[in-house]
Amino acid sequence: MRMNKHHWQWTIGIVISLVTCVLVVCFLVNKKHPESEYSLEYQQKLNEIFTVLDTGFWREKDKNLLLSSEALQLARQIDDSNSIAEALFFKARILGHFENNDSNLFYSNQAVMITERQGNDTLLAKIDNNIGNYYFTKDNYYLAMQYYTEVERIAEKLNINYLRWLAYNGYGLVYMSLNENDKAIEYFTKETKILNNNDGLSIRSNAIAKVNLGSIYMSQNELNQAERLFMEALAMTEQIRDTAVICDIFIRLGTVHQALHNHSISYDYLYKAITLAKQLGNRRLYGEALFNLGHWYATREQYDNAKESFLKSMSIFSDIGYISAEQKANMALSDLLKLKGEYLESLNYYKRSVALNDSILNLKIQKKISDFQWEIEFQKKKYERELLLEKYESQKNRNLLYVVLIVSLILIALMFFKYMRESLKRQKIDNDNLQEKIKTAEKINALEKFKHQAEIESKSKELITLSLQLVSKKDILNEIASTTHRLFKSGSMDENSVKNLLTIIRGSDNADKDWDQFKSMFEKVHKDFFIRLKQLGPELTDHEIRLCAYLKINLSNHEIAKIFNINPGSLKTNRYHIRKKLNLQAGENLEEIIRAI
C-alpha cells in the first residue's frame, strides 16, 4: 500500500514537471524568437557596413564616418561588445587617415578597453597598429615600435600573415625614418614575401609595400627602380581611388623626377599633389608637397618662391607636431638663405634645425634608457622571485617546527589539563554562533540590497507603463474626438451633444496633471536629472525638459509626438532646439547625451 502511494506521488510530480517545462519552452519561443530575428537583422546590417568600411575606409570621409556612427549605434542596440569595439576602430581609422589624430587616439583607446575585456586578439592587433601609426606620425618612434611589437606578438600567436604584414610595415617605416636603411630593407623584404604568398592581402597593401620599397631605392639613389615601383603603386591606388596614397605617390614621383632633372614633369607631379592635398584637407601631405616644391624652386634659382614654400611647409609641420619634417624645413631654409647671402637669418634657422634634431635624438636616448630600465626591472623581478622561493622554503621549515611544537604542547595539555577540553568546546560553540550571526547579518544586508534594487526596477517599469498609458490615452481621446466629428457631419449627433462630449474629452486630457504624476514618479527613479539637465542647458523650456525626460526612458519619437499631440515634424524641430541649447556637435547623439545625465 505504501509502495502504491509512493508511485502515485512520483507520477504526479513527473506530470507537473513536464507541464511546467512545456509552458516554459512555449513562453521562451514566443518571447525570444522575434527578439532573435531583430538582433539577426541588426547583425547582418553591421556586417555589411564593416565590409564596406574595411574595403574602402579611405574614401569619402563624411560618408564613411556616418557609416561608422551607424554601426556603433546598431552595435550598442544589440549590446554586442565586439561590434562596438570594431565600430570604434573603424571610426578611429577613418579619422587617422584624414589626419584627425587626436580623435583617432581617443576612439582607439576606447576600442582597446572593450577589446581587451572581450579577448579578441585579432581586432586588438589592428587597433594597436592604428595607435602605432599615430605615434609614428608624431615622430615618437619608441612608442610606435612598442605597439608594432605587440602586433607582431599577436600575429605569431595566431599565425595570421596580414597582422605580420602590419607589423613589418610599421618596423620598416620606423627604421627608414631613423635612416637605418639596412633594417628597413630587411622588414620591407619580409613584407614583400608575405605579399608574394598571395594570402588575400588587399590591393592597397600591395601598393603601400611598393611605395615603401621605392622610397628605399630613392634614398639609395636608384631612381629608375624607385620610379618604376611608384608608377606600379600609382596604378593600383588609382584603381581603388585611395586619394591620400595617390597624393603621397605624386610627391615621391615629383622628388624622383627632380633628381633626374626632369623639371617640368617634377613640377606637374608636385602641383597635382598640392591640389589633391588641399581637396583632402590633409595638412601633412600638403606640407610635404610644399617642401618638395621649395626644393624645386631652389634648383631653378627661384629663391623667393623657394623661401615662401619652405616657410609655409615649416608652419604646417609645426602646427601638426611633425618634428622631423619641421627640422628638415628649417635646415632647407638655412641652406637657401646662405645661398642668398643672408647669413644671420640662415644661422637662426640652422639653430632651430639643430634644436629640433636634438629633440628627435632625445627620443632615441629615451628608448635606450627605457630598454635599460626594462632589463633592470627584469633582473629585479628575477631576484625577487629567487628571494620569494628562499623565503617560502624557510617558512616551510619554520612551519614544520611550529607543527611539532604545537603537537607536543597539545599532548602535554591533554595529559595535564583535561578540563580545557570543555572550555575549548564552549569556545568553538561561541565562535560558531558568532559566525552564524555574521552570515545571518550578511544575508539580511543582501536581501535589503535586493529589495532596494527591485523597488528601483519596479518604479522604472511603472514609469514606462505610465508613459505608454499616456500614449494610449491620447490615442483613445483623439479617436473619440475624430469619431464625434464624423457623427456630427453625418447628422447622427446634434451640435449640443458634440459640444458636451468635446468638453468632457478636453477635461479628460489634463496634460498638466498627467505630467505632474509622471514627473513625481520619474524623480524617484532618476534623482537630480532635471537639476543636471538645467545645468547643461539653462535656456531649456519646460516643454523641452519634458521631451528630454521621455527620451531618458527610451520612448520613441512616435510615442513622444502622441503624448504632446504634435506631428513628428514639430518634434524634430524641438529636438533641434534642444541640441542647440545643449551645444551638441554634429557627431554627438542626443539620446546618448540625455541617457548619460
Side chain identity, residue 146: Q
Residue 283 CA from chain centroid, whole number: 24
Give 514 or 68, the one with higher predicted confidence.
68
pLDDT at residue 392, rounded to an integer: 59
d(CA 499, CA 497): 5
Quick one: pLDDT band at residue 33, thresholds 50, 70, 90? Answer: very low
For the four alpha carbons of 187, 192, 195 and 196, in that order, the dihedral sign comes to negative
pLDDT at residue 37, rounded to an integer: 56
pLDDT at residue 10, rounded to an integer: 46
d(CA 111, CA 507): 53
Proportion of the chain above pLDDT 70, given as a percent: 78
Grid cell 631576484 — which residue? 383
d(CA 287, CA 277): 9
d(CA 191, CA 159): 15
- What digits encode the pLDDT tens for the residues 7-28? 444 455 454 544 444 444 454 4
Quick one: pLDDT band at residue 340, thresholds 50, 70, 90? Answer: confident
Give the mean pLDDT of 109-135.
91
Q: Which of 339, 318, 337, 338 is nearest to 327 (CA)?
A: 318
Q: Which of 88, 6, 14 is nearest to 46 (CA)?
A: 88
Q: Which of 254, 240, 239 is nearest to 285 (CA)?
A: 254
Quick one: pLDDT band at residue 274, thresholds 50, 70, 90? Answer: very high
Side chain identity, residue 80: D
Rounded to two decimals, what is the model's pTM?
0.51
Give 26 or 410, the one with higher predicted confidence.
410
pLDDT at residue 494, rounded to an integer: 67
- Please name the helix (run of DSSP H) or strand (run of DSSP E) that holds residue 174, with its range, or none: helix 161-177
- What digits encode the pLDDT tens for the residues 373-405? 444 444 445 545 555 556 657 777 777 788 888
**Who's near 263: CB < 8 A, 6+ residues apart?**
257, 296, 299, 300
DSSP for 69-131 reads HHHHHHHHHTT-HHHHHHHHHHHHHHHHHTT-HHHHHHHHHHHHHHHHHHT-HHHHHHHHHHH
Helices H, strands E: what count in the chain?
24, 0
- Please name the helix (run of DSSP H) or strand (run of DSSP E) that holds residue 326, with its range, or none: helix 323-339
Residue 595 CA from chain centroid, whole number: 19
* Mean pLDDT of the chain, nearest integer: 80
pLDDT at residue 539, rounded to an integer: 92
- Please name the helix (run of DSSP H) or strand (run of DSSP E) that holds residue 310, with its range, or none: helix 303-320
Q: Is residue 358 scored above 80 in pLDDT?
A: no
- What digits encode the pLDDT tens for the residues 477-513? 766 777 777 776 776 666 766 666 666 666 555 556 7
pLDDT at residue 128, rounded to an integer: 93
pLDDT at residue 136, rounded to an integer: 87
pLDDT at residue 545, rounded to an integer: 92
**Who's near 233: CB < 8 A, 6+ residues apart?**
206, 207, 208, 210, 211, 214, 245, 249
pLDDT at residue 3, rounded to an integer: 45
- What digits encode the pLDDT tens for the residues 92-107? 988 887 766 678 888 9
Give 139 or 167, the one with higher predicted confidence.
167
pLDDT at residue 520, rounded to an integer: 83
Between the ranges 345-354, 471-480, 495-504, where is the mean pLDDT highest?
A: 345-354
Query: How crowded is the C-beta side of 22, counted as CA atoms within 13 Å?
Result: 6
For residue 242, count CB atoms less than 10 angstroms from its CB and return exposed for 0-12, middle for 13-18, buried for 19 or more.
buried
- Whole-angstrom CA distances from 548 to 82, 462, 474, 494, 565 are 30, 18, 19, 42, 16
d(CA 23, CA 21): 5
Range in 55-64, 79-88, 126-135, 223-232 the model is least confident about: 55-64
Range in 38-42, 161-165, 206-210 the model is least confident about: 38-42
d(CA 273, CA 296): 14
Q: Is residue 179 scored above 50 in pLDDT?
A: yes
pLDDT at residue 35, rounded to an integer: 44
pLDDT at residue 360, rounded to an integer: 65
pLDDT at residue 266, rounded to an integer: 93
SS (H, E, C) 500-542: HHHHHHHHHCCHHHHHHHHHHHHHHHCCCHHHHHHHHCCCCCH
pLDDT at residue 558, rounded to an integer: 86
Q: Is residue 436 scored above 80 in pLDDT?
A: yes
pLDDT at residue 204, rounded to an integer: 81
Grid cell 585579432 — which residue? 122
SS (H, E, C) 243-293: HHHHHHHHHHHHHHHHHCCCHHHHHHHHHHHHHHHHHHCCHHHHHHHHHHH
